[in-house]
Amino acid sequence: MSMLSALAHVEAMEKMKAVRLTAFRHHRLSDRPLVIIPLTMAGEAGAPLAVMAGTARRDMTLLVVPQPRNRDQRFAFAADLGRVVMDYINSYRQDRRGEGERSQYTDVPQIIVPNQGGVNALADLGRMCRFRSTTGPYAVPEVVPEFGMWLTFLVDKAEMAGTSMLLPLTALLTEHWATGQSTLEDQNLASLMAWIAPPRGVSIAQALEEAENPDVCPPAGPSTSPEFDNRDLAPAIKRFDSAHALGDPHTLAAAQTELTELIAGQVKPTWRLMWAAISILRSVPEAPQTARRLDRDCRLFTNHSDYRDTGGLPQRKRDTAISAARRLSQLERALADFEAAMAFDDPFVLADRRSGGEAFTGTVVESQPNRTAITAKNTTVPRPRVTVRTSDPLRLAAGTKLISPTMPKGHKAVIVSVLPDGDTTLVTVEVTAGMGRGRTPKAGSVPDLDQGIDYLPDPGWRPNPTFPDSGHIPWTHSADPDGPDDNAVPENAAAEEWGHDN
């Protein structure tokens, strides 16, 4: 946590009110998101209990597994939820633009869950479904493995910074507001919303007290409250099991209705809270570079959609060493790009990075606008230099490439030297891009004397790392079934066993 972030949390605690951390919303909010609230039994992470899903505040579907330990009921539930989710996903697989390899869908689906636990619950559900067979003694409906593969894709991409296809709502809120509670407490959607927007006529202290009471504010999942399980849920499931054993359709219908209404009472408060939070987030203006990140999401969505249309295999149970290294490289790159874009777009985020020495703001005290240099090809190019005086703490070294949100688009520079000067620092930078094609820089492309300017590191473009193929890595990292580890992950995902647990 940076100094400014820590101060914001302290201020929130002193004022008993959430404090804004950003000027913009850096994640896209779809006009028609699919809100999903998954529930599992406490202590039964692999046994889905219920899901409420829908694309509007008053348009929701509640699906319940009356006996979560029953395999047939679990996969009937997965099929019903799969149809809801796949209908939503397929509605975005209609309009494409471009031709050939440049063709891609114009928009992407967006699923919003209450918290990171909801993402983990969808990951478990995807893992449970994607390897199931649609034929044989343990056959499931065709939508189940397809649904599982799409869930796994969405969960995987949710780890990539800046993507907006699967979002935990608490992470979105804490990205924009600081509260006076711990990071762990911020995972409680009810208490988080108590800091940001308490109910009308209710103080934050009272709203926080109610948020901690599971009878007033049931948990947002994925696990239900143990007290609710012992007091209400377990007896209701037992009555359903007894009715099922008796075979009386009227008694069974009554028991199922009782169970559904009981779970609906647990999930509806979270449903209302989520749509209230989405409404608050819509009031935050969207950051300028969010559209660029949407284009990346469209490309990822299109690639996976085309892969599925060609009959692509399910995702592996575990990554190989090479695929794990490649994935880690992609995640690191996405995080660097996202952090730089946030600071470039948002003065609040830029100030936060300045407090940690990762960016600086200052005034130009010396300028050489007509300076030139000779390249390796014996070509004379403009290379103006300016010296910026800053009072910010600085941890950037000579050679660091820079971008500036206060200069015209395309402006780039590199640090030549960093010299302490009393309580300030003199940073000499050389402008390297954004000056036009002429021998002299175009007007406004070089900072003027006494001009205030912001700089932060440029993540820049870099080629993808080259990784060895599977035949050129040590046996300790290979998936060769002939190697010492007979349980290694096979290279072909289709060779993995499709489990049939009860």
Q: What is the pLDDT of residues 101-157, one digit of tens each?
A: 889 999 999 999 999 999 999 999 999 999 999 988 889 999 999 999 999 999 999
What pLDDT is recorded for position 79?
96
State the DSSP string of 295-337: HHHHHHHHHHHHHHHTTPPPPPSS--HHHHHHHHHHHHHHHHH
- Are 35 and 138 part of one and the same domain? yes
- Are 173 and 305 part of one and the same domain? yes
Model confidence at 273, pLDDT cuts 50, 70, 90, reads very high
- Are 220 and 102 part of one and the same domain? yes
286 has which bridge partners? 25
In whole angstroms, what is the distance from residue 384 CA to residue 414 CA? 11
Model confidence at 351, pLDDT cuts 50, 70, 90, reads very high
Mean pLDDT of the 435-451 span: 90
- Are 175 and 284 part of one and the same domain? yes
In a domain, 496, yes or no: no
Model confidence at 479, pLDDT cuts 50, 70, 90, reads low
Contacts of 195 by beta carbon, 8 Å cutoff, 6+ apart:
12, 17, 18, 177, 179, 180, 181, 204, 208
More confident residue, 216 or 500: 216
In whole angstroms, what is the distance from residue 352 CA to residue 358 CA? 9
- Are 165 and 58 part of one and the same domain? yes
Positive/negative CA dihedral, 153, 156, 161, 166: positive
Give me the chain's average pLDDT, please: 89
Q: Which residues of 463-474 are buried (b: 16+ CB within 10 A; e: fewer)?
A: eeeeeeeeeebe
In a domain, 462, yes or no: no
CA distances from 252 to 49, 248, 257, 412, 494 (A): 18, 6, 9, 70, 41
- Are 265 and 369 part of one and the same domain? no
What pLDDT is recorded for position 335?
93
- Are 102 and 199 part of one and the same domain? yes
In a domain, 439, yes or no: yes
In whole angstroms, what is the distance from residue 199 CA to residue 211 CA? 11
What pLDDT is recorded for position 215?
85
* Backbone phi and psi for residue 476, each to the nearest 5 degrees, phi listed first: -65, -20
- Are 198 and 286 part of one and the same domain? yes
CA distances from 247 to 40, 242, 243 (A): 27, 9, 6
- Among the listed residues 432, 386, 436, the one whose alpha carbon sits nearest the alpha carbon of residue 412: 432
Cβ count near 396 (within 10 Å) = 19
pLDDT at 9 over 50: yes
- Are 387 and 310 part of one and the same domain? no
Mean pLDDT of the 166-171 span: 96
What pLDDT is recorded for position 88?
97
**Structure tokens, 159:** 């780890």
In a domain, 190, yes or no: yes
pLDDT at 17 over 80: yes
Mean pLDDT of the 305-311 span: 92
What pLDDT is recorded for position 475?
67
In a domain, 441, yes or no: yes
Mean pLDDT of the 337-349 span: 94
What pLDDT is recorded for position 461?
75
**Structure tokens, 300:** 């990822």
What pLDDT is recorded for position 502?
39
- Are 297 and 404 part of one and the same domain? no
Q: State which residues form the domain around 385.
A: 357-457
- Are 214 and 106 part of one and the same domain? yes
Let me know: does 86 contact 150? Beta carbons within 8 Å.
yes
DSSP classification of residue 229: I
H-helix or E-strand spanning residue 65: none
pLDDT at 35 over 50: yes
Model confidence at 484, pLDDT cuts 50, 70, 90, reads very low
Count of CA atoms in the C-beta half-sphere (13 A) of 197: 12
State the DSSP string of 98-161: SSGGG-EES----EEESSHHHHHHHHHHHHHHTT--SSSTT---THHHHHHHHHHHHHHHHTST
What pLDDT is recorded for position 490?
38
What pLDDT is recorded for position 1?
67
What pLDDT is recorded for position 463?
74
What pLDDT is recorded for position 440?
87
What pLDDT is recorded for position 220?
85
In a domain, 487, yes or no: no
- Are 82 and 182 part of one and the same domain? yes
* Backbone phi and psi for residue 97, each to the nearest 5 degrees, phi listed first: -130, 160
Mean pLDDT of the 76-94 span: 96
Number of H helices, E strands in the chain: 13, 17
pLDDT at 84 over 80: yes
In a domain, 347, yes or no: no
CATH of the domain at 411: 2.40.30
Nearest 5°: CA angle at 53, between 289 and 210? 90
Percent of the chain with pLDDT over 90: 67
Model confidence at 4, pLDDT cuts 50, 70, 90, reads confident
Mean pLDDT of the 34-48 span: 84
* Backbone phi and psi for residue 36, each to the nearest 5 degrees, phi listed first: -125, 130
Q: What is the C-alpha radius of gyration for the chain, rounded to an integer number of angstroms? A: 27
* Angle between helical axes of 143-158 and 116-129 (0-180°, round to 10): 140
Return the C-alpha torsion angle 190, 195, 199, 203, nearest 10: 120
Model confidence at 477, pLDDT cuts 50, 70, 90, reads low
What pLDDT is recorded for position 47?
80
What pLDDT is recorded for position 194?
93
Nearest 5°: CA angle at 105, between 103 and 106? 115
pLDDT at 481 over 80: no
What pLDDT is recorded for position 491?
38
Q: Which amino acid is at 5?
A: S
Let me know: does 440 contact 370? Beta carbons within 8 Å.
yes
Mean pLDDT of the 75-95 span: 95
Domain total of the chain: 2
In a domain, 464, yes or no: no
pLDDT at 299 over 60: yes
pLDDT at 99 over 90: no
pLDDT per residue as tens digits for the range 389-431: 999 999 999 999 999 999 998 999 999 999 999 999 999 999 9
Mean pLDDT of the 9-22 span: 93
Positive/negative CA dihedral, 44, 45, 46, 48: positive
CA distances from 482 to 144, 336, 375, 470, 488 (A): 33, 39, 54, 13, 9
| 3-state DSSP assignment of residue 252 | helix
Tokens 């509670």, located at residue:
181
